């Protein structure tokens, strides 16, 4: 029975969630499995991986073949490195203490790198948000200036129309006065 370490999909459409399982290679993807050794959630940033470390090493030693995706997950978590170091211990190249020290140093470096990556991502998101807000403010100011310009034009146009109306009224009033004066002079002349 060729065993595979593979992902078994769960979760709803567009929101995948996987179980990392040991299964017969002939069984369907979401079908029967031998043992569940962890979970993988690719939706979170960074992806959340929970893994039974010792079980994964045990099944790899038994000959279970991981799929490409599971191989990368095991590599990220350090299972393949730990297995490699344990192989060195079996051959006598390392003592168990040396292997553990090497593995712990690798874990510390990996955690520091992940923490730095998370911090950089958060900083980048803040900078992007700040740039978007600044761009929106510039657009808003440009719109406000355009609206103020249009309002000033409308006010100027209204003032010009009012002045023209006043001038017309004044002209009409003068014409009325002139005609009244001429009528009065004509009336006195008679």
Residues 20 and 70 in one domain: yes
Q: What pLDDT does residue 116 have?
A: 92
My answer on whether 85 and 118 are in the same domain is no
- Calpha distance 77→39 (Å, rounded): 12
- Say yes or no: 25 and 83 in one domain: yes
What's the whole-model pTM score? 0.65
Instruction: Count Cβ atoms within 10 A of the Cβ of residue 21 and give its class: 0-12 exposed, 13-18 middle, 19 or more buried.
Output: buried
pLDDT value at position 101? 93
Same structural domain, 82 and 52? yes
- Write out pLDDT tens, residues 48-84: 999 999 999 999 999 999 999 999 999 999 999 999 9
What pLDDT was estimated at residue 28? 85
Both 85 and 155 in a single domain?
no
Q: Is the peptide bond before 150 cis (omega within 30 degrees of 0)?
A: no
Please check whether residues 79 and 19 belong to one and the same domain: yes
| Within-domain flag for 162 | yes
- Same structural domain, 115 and 68: no
What pLDDT shows up at residue 22? 94
Domain span including residue 137: 111-173
Q: pLDDT tens across 111-154, in order?
A: 999 899 889 989 999 999 999 999 999 999 999 999 999 999 99
pLDDT tens for residues 169-189?
777 766 666 666 666 666 666
Residue 104 included in any domain: no
Same domain? 126 vs 169 = yes
- Confidence band, pLDDT 50/70/90 cuts, at residue 47: confident
**Rounded CA gap, 126 and 139, in Å?**
20
CA distance 39 to 179: 102
Question: How many domains is the chain partitioned into structurally?
Answer: 2
CATH at 37: 3.30.1320.10
89 shares a domain with 29: yes
In a domain, 190, yes or no: no
């Amino acid at each position: 029975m060729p065993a595979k370490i593979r992902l078994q999909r769960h979760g709803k459409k567009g929101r995948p969630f996987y179980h990392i399982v040991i299964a017969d290679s002939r069984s369907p993807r979401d079908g029967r499995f031998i043992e569940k050794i962890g979970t993988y959630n690719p939706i979170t940033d960074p992806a959340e991986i929970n893994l039974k470390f010792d079980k994964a090493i045990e099944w790899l030693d038994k000959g279970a073949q991981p799929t490409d995706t599971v191989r990368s997950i095991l590599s990220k978590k350090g299972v393949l490195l730990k297995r490699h170091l344990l192989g060195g211990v079996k051959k006598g190249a390392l003592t168990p203490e040396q292997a553990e020290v090497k593995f712990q140093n690798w874990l510390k470096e990996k955690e520091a790198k992940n923490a730095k990556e998370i911090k950089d991502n958060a900083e980048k998101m803040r900078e992007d948000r700040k740039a978007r807000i600044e761009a929106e403010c510039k657009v808003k100011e440009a719109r406000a200036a355009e609206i103020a310009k249009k309002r000033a034009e409308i006010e100027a146009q209204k003032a010009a129309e009012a002045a023209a109306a006043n001038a017309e009224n004044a002209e009409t009033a003068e014409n009325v006065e002139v005609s009244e004066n001429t009528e009065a002079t004509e009336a006195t002349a008679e």
